[in-house]
């Protein structure tokens, strides 16, 4: 989130043009699903909500700035109400991205004649896909585990309300086992958790397989017989028409783009 994201813009532009050339009718608009690591994401609790939207925006900006690693005066800030915390205070999901980082992605699109519309983060849309690809409305706590290239994200959702979100860069000394274990402890101690009932996992990195992830859960999370482990790509395969012909690992990598198409459809 603090440094340039696109090392070779010419190569990216060439690759994108090759994709667009395969369309019978070249598209002119696009949505962007960006890596989780480009944004500072916060779950912010407010005791009172100002009546005026401008006052609310300023209050959120003031509180998030305390922990943001960059100036929010040079950032794109987005927020939405997402229920209440354990103390019944209103809780907001807040995401901030440096404008310079966002422009890198938008400029690539502009260079090939695409107009950027919706911009969102990968794991938010993995949650959308999970919620929308099941006929039964989720009511219990469940954990999303997203293993991507160079980072991992964990999110705990209570029904359809996000109550925990954190990502971790893939660096020496930082293991997914410890990351999941620390999250489980925080969930029990601070979020009033009485047990995650389902773990939805997905890998958008070719370096990880479902077998490796399942072994991690067995070592670092209390996966008793009551906890359901589910690979998101496998679930997509069983619920979306004609998806069974597509490899599961490829569906995992498609899950976030699918999610941005399904925004606001889970109620």
Domain count, the chain: 1
Kindly state whether residue 22 falls inside one of the protein's structural domains. Answer: no
State residue 225's pLDDT score: 60
- Which pLDDT belongs to residue 135? 61
Answer whether 95's CB lies under 8 Å from 121's CB: yes
Domain, as residue range, for 253: 122-261
Residue carrying the six token digits 């101690």: 189
Please report whether residue 88 resides in a domain: no
pLDDT in tens, 114-124: 999 999 999 99
Q: Is residue 33 part of a domain?
A: no
Model pLDDT, residue 267: 47
201, part of any domain: yes
How far is Cα 88 from Cα 153, in angstroms, rounded to an integer? 26
Does residue 161 belong to any structural domain of this protein? yes
Length of the chain, in residues: 267
What pLDDT, on the 0 to 100 scale, is given for residue 104? 96
Quickly list DSSP for 135-183: SSPP-SEEEEEEEETTEEEEEEEETTEEEEEEEEE--TT--HHHHHHHH
CATH code at 186?
Answer: 3.30.420.40
Is residue 32 included in any domain, yes or no?
A: no
State how far the Cα of 1 lies from the Cα of 37, in Å rounded to an integer. 6
Are the C-beta atoms of 226 and 197 separated by less than 8 Å?
yes
Residue-wise pLDDT for 104-152, tens only, equals: 999 999 999 999 999 999 999 999 999 887 766 677 899 999 999 889 9
**28 lies in some domain:** no
**Within a domain: 155:** yes
For the chain, list residues with pLDDT below 70: 135-137, 206-213, 219-225, 264-267
């Amino acid at each position: 989130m603090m440094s340039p994201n696109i090392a070779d813009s010419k190569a990216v532009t060439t690759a994108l043009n090759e994709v667009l050339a395969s369309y019978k009718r070249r598209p002119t608009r696009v949505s962007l699903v960006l890596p989780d690591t480009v944004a500072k994401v916060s779950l912010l609790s407010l005791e009172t909500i100002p009546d005026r939207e401008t006052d609310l925006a300023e209050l959120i900006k003031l509180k998030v700035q305390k922990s943001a690693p960059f100036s929010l005066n040079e950032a794109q800030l987005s927020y939405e109400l997402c229920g209440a915390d354990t103390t019944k205070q209103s809780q907001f999901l807040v995401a901030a991205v440096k404008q310079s980082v966002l422009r890198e992605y938008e400029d690539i699109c502009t260079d090939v004649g695409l107009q950027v519309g919706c911009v969102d983060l990968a794991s938010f849309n993995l949650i959308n896909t999970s919620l929308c690809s099941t006929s039964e409305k989720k009511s219990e706590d469940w954990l999303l585990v997203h293993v991507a290239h160079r980072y991992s994200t964990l999110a705990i959702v209570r029904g359809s309300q996000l109550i925990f979100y954190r990502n971790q860069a893939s660096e020496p000394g930082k293991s997914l086992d410890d990351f999941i274990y620390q999250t489980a402890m925080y969930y029990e101690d601070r979020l009033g958790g009485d047990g995650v009932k389902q773990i939805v996992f997905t890998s958008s990195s070719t370096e990880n397989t479902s077998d490796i992830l399942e072994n991690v859960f067995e070592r670092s999370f209390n996966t008793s017989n009551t906890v359901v482990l589910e690979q998101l790509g496998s679930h997509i395969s069983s619920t979306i028409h004609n998806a069974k012909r597509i490899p599961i690992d490829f569906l995992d990598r498609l899950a976030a783009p699918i999610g941005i198409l399904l925004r606001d459809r889970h109620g």
